[in-house]
Structure 1
Amino acid sequence: MRDIEELCNMTDPLTVLQESDTGDLCDTEDGDNKDRERHEELLHDGGGVDVAGVLHTGLSDIITEVNVSFYIQGAEDILLDGNTAHNKLHISDDRKTVSWSGRNQNRPVTPERFQDCPQVMSSSWSFSSGRHYWEVDVGGSNRWGVRMCYPSIDRRGWQSGIGWNNKSWDLYRIGNQYGVTHDRNKTNFHRNLSSTRVRIYLDYEAGRISFYDLCDPIRHLHTFTTTFTEPLHAGVYIGRGCIKICGGNREM
């Protein structure tokens, strides 16, 4: 139990736990060997306690909320789907960057395309199980949203805005205001993001979507908890400038 308490007292237990499997979450220098050995001992031994089990069961007397993805391997290739893109959004050739153009792109009007909200979804590959994360560089805009949504989301009307219905979850910035929204319920942050890069974690079976500011140390922003009823797609809103999908991983 002393080891568990040590984990709880650390500034960022997520970083400690992730380092032994996936490397640093931020671009920081490696700790010394003794620290790394101690982190691995806490994760894989825990003084005879199942640390992973404790973190996932969320014993309220020990840890109130820790959002961790264990044993993530492989590369996630999230690509933007031009068939869903609003007609005033420009999608780069590599399908990783979306920009607000203000010019009609003259794409055909189809049932898949967002008609009223400047947003785009990821391609047909979807998240239907496992633990995943993806990252977005948001430094090129002060009006953006990064999101997860069901493919059954409306494509017309105000209710098609990701985060403004019960089929989507959103981290956003509008000017100097940051926050999250789901089903028209907004939670504003009292602090601005410290970096230009955000990470979105998904644990499908646990029903969790978590957002992180990739500063040093990494900062947890918010976690939505629900029971997912459909596969999930990544989504992006852009009202000015551009943002870029940087990559991600998934559990194999």
Structure 2
Amino acid sequence: MRDIEELCNMMDPLTVLQESDTGDLCDTEDGDDEDRERHEKLLHDAGGLNMAGISHTLRTLSDIILRVNVHIYEREAEDILLDVNTAHNYLHVSGDRKIASWSDRYQNRPKIPERFQGYLQALSSQSFSSGRHYWDVDVGGSDKWIVGMSYPSIDRKGLQSLIGWNNKSWGLVKKDKKYLVIHDGKGIHLPINIISNRIRIYLDYDAGRIVFYDLCDPIRYIRTFTTTFTEPLHAGVWVWDGGKMKICGGNQKM
């Protein structure tokens, strides 16, 4: 399954299939001639398909596989709470620590090293260093937003503190009615519109994956980050002027 996921993420899947003809297939045992012939026929038949058809098929497979993974491995959304000690002083955090909203009033919280000083952001109080987890964020109250994940060692001021604009965080961004994913300051614009107001973030820490979904009906896969994590991960949100975001989870069933 993971080999298929990697194939679905390739820019040129036909090239990958062709390369496999001189790679893994050459390692088969002498008694596997029939398997080799089937693989060769598959490669021959693939050569007659157009790239648009292959890419569409693989994207569909990727969508199905990633959605199935979530349903198999997770039963209940994580009960994510925002850490007020990380919240910017113009970011209001609700009493249940689920809603982050822009405020025109200075919150007068103490200036401590954990607090964001440049951007209206907050991290979760929970951190994850193993296992599979997911939660949802309602982004309907904000025209511009970032949702994602971050190491606790992220900077707290300057451009390097913005989620996704450093090598310690990963973000999904809505800006000017466009969407992108970003890590280490390198963004990839997404050729889609997010239909619903709710984003699902899925983390498989041990496999090194952060996956974003649009919770429309049916649920739609957006993008995957793949890496090797070196620190615990916190959920993170950034709110634009006048906006608010709500974290959903804790009593949600799949």
2:191 maps to 1:245: no
Q: Alpha-carbon deviation of 1:191?
A: 2.2
* Residue type at the aligned position of 1:170: G
**How many pairs does the alignment contain?**
195
- What do residues 56-76 of structure 1 show as CA deviations (whole Å, max 9, x unaligned)? 343746967442233323552
Q: Which residue of 2 aligns with 1:143?
A: 144
Match of 1:116 among 111, 115, 118: 118
CA change 1:164–1:248 in 2 (3 A) is farther
5 Å matches for 1:180-199? Answer: 180-199=181-200
TM-score, reference length from structure 2: 0.72
In structure 2, C-alpha distance between the alignment counterparts of 1:197 and 1:77, rounded to whole Å: 16
Q: Which residue of 2 aligns with 1:221?
A: 222
* Residue type at the aligned position of 1:237: W
In structure 1, C-alpha distance between the alignment counterparts of 2:118 and 2:83, rounded to whole Å: 17
- What do residues 106-151 of structure 1 show as CA deviations (whole Å, max 9, x unaligned)? 111110000101100001x211111111101111111111110000
In structure 1, C-alpha distance between the alignment counterparts of 2:101 and 2:77, rounded to whole Å: 24
TM-score, reference length from structure 1: 0.73
In structure 2, C-alpha distance between the alignment counterparts of 1:171 and 1:104, rounded to whole Å: 27
Q: Which residue of 1 aligns with 2:4?
A: 58
* Residue type at the aligned position of 1:162: I
Equivalent pair of 1:133/1:249 in contact (CA under 8 Å)? no
Q: Which residue of 2 aligns with 1:168?
A: 169
Q: Which residue of 1 aligns with 2:207?
A: 206
In structure 2, C-alpha distance between the alignment counterparts of 1:170 and 1:249, rounded to whole Å: 25
Equivalent position SS for 2:2 = helix
CA change 1:248–1:180 in 2 (3 A) is farther
What runs of 5+ residues in structure 1 fail to find an aligned partner?
Answer: 1-54
Moved more, 56-65 or 139-148: 56-65
Q: What is the CA RMSD across the aligned residues, in angstroms?
A: 2.0
Structure with greater proportional helix content: 2
* Residue type at the aligned position of 2:94: S
5 Å matches for 1:73-92? Answer: 73-92=75-94
- Structure 1 or 2, whichever has the larger Rg, is 2
In structure 1, C-alpha distance between the alignment counterparts of 2:116 and 2:247, rounded to whole Å: 19
- What do residues 171-191 of structure 1 show as CA deviations (whole Å, max 9, x unaligned)? 111231211110001111222
Aligned residues with identical type, % of pairs: 61
Equivalent pair of 2:73/2:132 in contact (CA under 8 Å)? no
Equivalent position SS for 2:86 = coil
5 Å matches for 1:24-103? Answer: 55-58=1-4, 60=7, 65=62, 66-67=65-66, 68-69=69-70, 70-103=72-105
In structure 2, C-alpha distance between the alignment counterparts of 1:220 and 1:72, rounded to whole Å: 16
